[in-house]
Structure 1
Amino acid sequence: MTATFLTRSLFLKWLAAIYLVAFLSLYMQIPGLFGANGVLPAQSQLLSHPSVASAWARPTLLWLRGYVGLDTSHAMEAASLLGVVLSLLAVVTEWGRVKVVLGALLVLYGSLVQVGQAFLYYQWDSLLLETGLLAVVLAPWLPSGGRQRPSDSVGLWLVRWLLFRQVFSTGAMKLLSKCPSWWSLTALDVHFQSQCMPTPLAAVAHALPPIVLRLATVFSLAAELGGPFLFFSPVRRLRLAGFYLQVFLQLMVFATGSFGFHSLLVLTLCLSLLDDDWLTGRKPQGGLSGGWLESILSGAVLLSLLAATIGLFQIRLQDGGIATDIGFSPEEFGEFIHFAVPASILLGAASFLLTAADAITTAVLDSAGGCCRRMNSALNTTVTVLVAAAVFTCSLVPYTTLDAPTHRTLPEPLRDVFAETVQPLHVFGSYGLFKQMTGVKGRPEVVLQGATKLDGPWNDIEFRYKPGQLDYMPPFVAPHQPRLDWQMWMAALGDYHANPWLTSLAYRILTGQKEVVSLLDTARYPFTFKPPKYIRGMRYTYTYGAGDQQSWWQRSKTGEEYLPVFSAEHKPLLDYLKQLNVIGLPKETTDNPTLIGLLDAIRATLDQWEARNLVWSVLLALWLVRVVTGRVMGSGL
């Protein structure tokens, strides 16, 4: 059996660090997003009387907030801070990387997602929950003291299967969507400018020659559609090739765009492709690891994949340069998906059975301990295998949505149980980022404007991170995710009727709610002393500027008014917000002044930090601690 103790430990440690980022980033935004005077008060999701039925329909620990004397916002803060503490424990100690702690992290984050509404419905939130579930399966009950466990390989196999689903689904959805930009291989001509929050390097990438961007698009599609099948190869070098492909792709995504903790989470999943020999630099022994046979097999497979990529994307020399086009039709790609989805399930099932059989055999024949230890190891491994089989089976329901005929072949009871019991937990997702390229003719942006008089002047209301002022350099934001900035980008893709939270944001600005205003760029906020009397939203088209630092962007009006003029006394607005349960909610009672006082004191301290800087500082501090103590990856993980 391949050594996996260090791989397991590193995976759980990285996941704990991502939990830390997720909880801390969200904590800094709770009052403005979910407080009683926030954009979408979380209390509105918990108005029914706590009962078994309501808890099952919306499973969250926040139903218990009244029993500890907290209102919803303070309960969310307490859950987030507890998540931060447990995440820190899991990063720095092996006692924190056990089932109980990781299970608590899963429940805490899942509880927040349940009431997060539009601001917590991102794919990486679901991906974090699913990864967290697999971590609970993988983690030991108690610290294993550096011992290899047969069940580790089964848990890491589940992580590898999730990585396969995430990567392959992302690539498949791009072409299944029939987006013209993907099918013409011009998606990256648009992406670096139109993505939600580009970094300064995105402008550099956007200026690359068109053929470079087309070849990069081909690489992206090939790495996501062909690369995942290397994950289950018995040849170690092929698994490592799949690892390097995904690491390079995610590093490029991270460098050019701020997608919260998504890229870091995918990189963490990629650890399942490694083994302890790779982590420690030892030469692998046995099987197909090393030697001329592995070199021949891996070389043949990789050359075949390269040849297939060149042929399918018609990469050729033309007119003294390189040209490329997709050499297959949408119908032919649909036929490929119809074959690939069931084939990948069979491949995954076969790989799982071999992994499970090897783990159980190793547990039974373990010669390192006595009879009792072998029985305990065999029992633990068998239970892990059964749980992993159930998780694998459940994952087929969202995965097969890629191909409707395959989805319909799943047993109807399985689909019904998943829809009624599993889906409300949000622990299994169907993935597919960037399936449609937006902003082909420039990125759409909604610019909120406020005024003290109806006839103006109208002043732009700037956000912290999203494009606004033309001379504002796009910042590096990840792994922090400013969720209001993200929602503003998504709102620009439609109209305000499809984004009812935006009217709530406008009302909170009109009434000067400091919790909400703190989510904006307070350094450039034009209404510091008195809130605006009127607010509106204008739609603009943004494109990169001339390339100098004096003008990062240029913009033009589309001629459309996105959000009509509102005032805080506008009766239709007030009636609408009451229907949305944004205003007029019953006042929550609290009877725990000690805990509330402690939470308020922590809030007052941490609010002095910008959220992005706080997240980076905590991660940097953890890294420095590990360097100082000599516990970096190469010397103890």
Structure 2
Amino acid sequence: MTWDWLALPDYWYARLAVTRLLAVVYLLAFLSAALQFRGLLGSRGLTPIPRFLARVPWRRSPSLFHLHYSDRAFAGVAWTGVVLSALAVLGLPDLLPLGGWLGYWALLWVLYLSIVNVGQIWYSFGWESLLLEAGFLAVFLGPAHLAPPAPVVWLLCWLVFRVEFGAGLIKLRGDPVWRDLTALHYHHETQPMPGPLSRRFHLLPGRLHRVEVLANHAAQLVVPFGLFAPQPVATIAAGIIVVTQLWLVLSGNFAWLNALTITLALAAVAPVGGGPVTAAPPTWFAVLLLVLTAGFVVLSYWPVRNMLGRGQVMNRSFNKLHLGNTYGAFGSITRTRYELVVEGAPGEDGPWREYEFKGKPGDPRRRPPQVAPYHLRLDWQFWFLALSPTYGRGWLPRFLVALLRGDRHVLRLLRGNPFPDDPPGAVRIRMYRYRFADRAEHRATGAHWVRHEVGEFVPPTTLDDLTSR
């Protein structure tokens, strides 16, 4: 029996693009873990992994770290992931036989799954599950000498369909500003991590903002169906998704969400003209592909039910392997931007000096930096914290203690340390209302933001205050 009907030789470019770009995203994800984990998750971090492992069993968080955890072991896993990802960017897995390909990409997936499942609040973002689901499917794409498997190509298209269509549905069902086309009057200014061009996008005329919203609805609610159409319609649909994602890249910082969505959209691209000669899948691999497809058909029940149900939720994993997830973004839009400014002083009476973060707004004169596709996890959590103090319940006191003790691993998560010689004697957090400077204000002062203090989030606090509780 031949298995030619499971092969899509014309999609050789799709596989090449998806695997190489996915390797880039893996590289960024592992690098982010390696550079940030000690302050966030290390044995003395803000939410220590050993404490998490002591109370959460393996069945609730499958991870290699249940076998053994140390900061050195975590660093080993993260840096191993960096090296393997970099080699995958260069195409090493394509030189391996089919079994070697499967093992290589499966190892990348297991390593990152092990990190995400102990990452707690710092790894609670939808793009973590998206990377794991995409990475799992990539295991079965096969090396360059094998024809791209049709089931995996369609499952990748199904994945990007869920990302886009789920995001479109949650917008229409959620905040009314998406329905009256005014969402982008606010979003560019209040998004979690504005970028260098976000202020310019915000200052566009209201008429253009409404066009942006309409284009977004079309790209997320209509275009994704084209991914399953015959060529060249599928390629055109993929191109529209890529363009809209690049628009989002220009207008803000969303870690690797946009890069990964672009990567998945390219699975639908089939170039005109012949490609390299490839072989049909061997029987054992064809059977494996059919089992994979059946498994994802079953797993799709939960995200489909979620999308079609009235109580749709965003970014939910229905199992601990992060497969068959539901996705979505910005079902509600924040109207006013609040920022938390962390300050330290030699004593409770001041003088106070501000801690600057790498990505989130602080100094009004500082232009928002380009951070994406890298992910600054502490900065993102401070955006959530400004929305509600409950987001910091498990880690904010430990963060303040780390500042008061001059913890070098936590301080490395910040842009700079205003107390390079001795730690401060007291810290506090003030809340400000931020808005983008208009053109006249920017010309007069050079500032990108205008801010006004609205209250005290954490009063002046010393180490004794925090350690005596």
Provide TM-score, normalisation by structure 2. 0.90
Which shows bigger deviation, 503-512 or 210-219?
Answer: 503-512
Deviation by residue 1:128-184 (Cα, 9 ceiling, x = unmatched): 00101111132x3xx453x425xx11111100000101100001001111x132122
Look up the match of 1:148: 147
**Equivalent position amino acid for 1:174 in 2:** K
**Equivalent position amino acid for 1:148 in 2:** A
Structure 1 position 240 matched with structure 2 position 235: yes
Distance 1:427 1:74, change over 3 A: farther
Determine the C-alpha separation between the residues in 1 that align with 2:150 and 2:28.
27
Distance 1:497 1:32, change over 3 A: closer
Look up the match of 2:3: none
1:86 to partner: Cα distance:
1.1
Determine the C-alpha separation between the residues in 2 that align with 1:113 and 1:574.
30
Deviation by residue 1:423-443 (Cα, 9 ceiling, x = unmatched): 1222332111111111x13x1
Q: Which one has a bigger Cα radius of gyration?
A: 1
1:20 to 21, 27, 30: 27
Structure 1 position 538 matched with structure 2 position 426: no
Look up the match of 1:431: 327
- Is the contact between residue 79 and residue 108 of structure 1 (CA under 8 Å) also seen in structure 2? yes
- Is the contact between residue 228 and residue 234 of structure 2 (CA under 8 Å) also seen in structure 1? yes
1:574 to partner: Cα distance:
3.2
Determine the C-alpha separation between the residues in 1 that align with 2:425 and 2:122.
27
- Is the contact between residue 42 and residue 73 of structure 1 (CA under 8 Å) also seen in structure 2? no
Determine the C-alpha separation between the residues in 2 that align with 1:91 and 1:433.
28
Instruction: Report the 3-state secondary structure (helix = DSSP H, G, I; strand = E; otherwise coil) of the residue aligned with 2:186.
Output: helix
Q: 5+ residue gaps in structure 2? A: 1-7
Structure 1 position 174 matched with structure 2 position 171: yes
**Equivalent position amino acid for 2:463 in 1:** A
- Is the contact between residue 348 and residue 462 of structure 2 (CA under 8 Å) also seen in structure 1? no
- Is the contact between residue 127 and residue 428 of structure 1 (CA under 8 Å) also seen in structure 2? no
1:489 to partner: Cα distance:
0.9
- Is the contact between residue 385 and residue 391 of structure 2 (CA under 8 Å) also seen in structure 1? no
Determine the C-alpha separation between the residues in 1 that align with 2:256 and 2:310.
34
1:511 to partner: Cα distance:
1.2
Distance 1:406 1:63, change over 3 A: closer
- Is the contact between residue 216 and residue 244 of structure 2 (CA under 8 Å) also seen in structure 1? yes
2:253 to 252, 258, 283: 258
Determine the C-alpha separation between the residues in 2 that align with 1:95 and 1:506.
50
Distance 1:9 1:569, change over 3 A: same
Look up the match of 2:40: 33
Structure 1 position 120 matched with structure 2 position 123: yes
Distance 1:457 1:399, change over 3 A: farther
Distance 1:241 1:4, change over 3 A: closer
Distance 1:196 1:82, change over 3 A: same
RMSD (Å) for aligned C-alpha atoms: 2.4
Structure 1 position 129 matched with structure 2 position 132: yes
The structure carrying a bigger helix percent of its residues is: 1
Determine the C-alpha separation between the residues in 1 that align with 2:448 and 2:242.
29
Deviation by residue 1:348-396 (Cα, 9 ceiling, x = unmatched): xxxxxxxxxxxxxxxxxxxx99xxx98x734432330221121132022
- What count of residue pairs does the alignment treat as equivalent? 449
Look up the match of 2:194: 198
Structure 1 position 57 matched with structure 2 position 60: yes
Determine the C-alpha separation between the residues in 1 that align with 2:216 and 2:308.
21
- Is the contact between residue 496 and residue 562 of structure 1 (CA under 8 Å) also seen in structure 2? no
Determine the C-alpha separation between the residues in 1 that align with 2:144 and 2:130.
27
- Is the contact between residue 13 and residue 269 of structure 2 (CA under 8 Å) also seen in structure 1? no
Instruction: Report the 3-state secondary structure (helix = DSSP H, G, I; strand = E; otherwise coil) of the residue aligned with 1:535.
Output: strand
Look up the match of 1:107: 110
2:462 to 543, 550, 567: 567
1:255 to partner: Cα distance:
1.1
Q: 5+ residue gaps in structure 1? A: 66-70, 285-367, 408-417, 577-637
**Equivalent position amino acid for 1:396 in 2:** Y
- Is the contact between residue 126 and residue 426 of structure 1 (CA under 8 Å) also seen in structure 2? yes
**Equivalent position amino acid for 1:15 in 2:** L
Identity of aligned residues (%): 33
Determine the C-alpha separation between the residues in 2 that align with 1:498 and 1:479.
25
**Equivalent position amino acid for 2:324 in 1:** F
**Equivalent position amino acid for 1:437 in 2:** I
Structure 1 position 516 matched with structure 2 position 410: yes
**Equivalent position amino acid for 1:242 in 2:** A
Determine the C-alpha separation between the residues in 2 that align with 1:432 and 1:88.
29
Distance 1:91 1:469, change over 3 A: same
Look up the match of 1:294: none
Distance 1:212 1:381, change over 3 A: same
Distance 1:144 1:216, change over 3 A: closer
Distance 1:505 1:98, change over 3 A: same
* TM alignment of 1:386-401, pairs within 5 A: 386-401=291-306
Provide TM-score, normalisation by structure 1. 0.67
Determine the C-alpha separation between the residues in 2 that align with 1:132 and 1:35.
25
Structure 1 position 249 matched with structure 2 position 244: yes
Structure 1 position 271 matched with structure 2 position 167: no
Determine the C-alpha separation between the residues in 2 that align with 1:252 and 1:436.
20
Determine the C-alpha separation between the residues in 2 that align with 1:569 and 1:198.
36
Determine the C-alpha separation between the residues in 2 that align with 1:574 and 1:455.
20
1:85 to partner: Cα distance:
1.3
Distance 1:132 1:575, change over 3 A: farther
Which shows bigger deviation, 255-264 or 102-111?
Answer: 255-264
Deviation by residue 1:574-606 (Cα, 9 ceiling, x = unmatched): 376xxxxxxxxxxxxxxxxxxxxxxxxxxxxxx
**Equivalent position amino acid for 2:171 in 1:** K
1:496 to partner: Cα distance:
4.9
Look up the match of 1:356: none
- Is the contact between residue 47 and residue 394 of structure 2 (CA under 8 Å) also seen in structure 1? no
Determine the C-alpha separation between the residues in 2 that align with 1:165 and 1:497.
27
Instruction: Report the 3-state secondary structure (helix = DSSP H, G, I; strand = E; otherwise coil) of the residue aligned with 1:241.
Output: helix
Structure 1 position 381 matched with structure 2 position 286: yes
Determine the C-alpha separation between the residues in 2 that align with 1:242 and 1:2.
20
1:195 to partner: Cα distance:
1.0
- Is the contact between residue 9 and residue 147 of structure 2 (CA under 8 Å) also seen in structure 1? no
- Is the contact between residue 59 and residue 114 of structure 1 (CA under 8 Å) also seen in structure 2? yes
**Equivalent position amino acid for 1:436 in 2:** S
Determine the C-alpha separation between the residues in 2 that align with 1:41 and 1:82.
21
1:520 to partner: Cα distance:
1.0
* TM alignment of 1:582-597, pairs within 5 A: none
Structure 1 position 553 matched with structure 2 position 449: yes
1:527 to 419, 424, 443: 419
Look up the match of 1:616: none
Determine the C-alpha separation between the residues in 2 that align with 1:433 and 1:249.
14
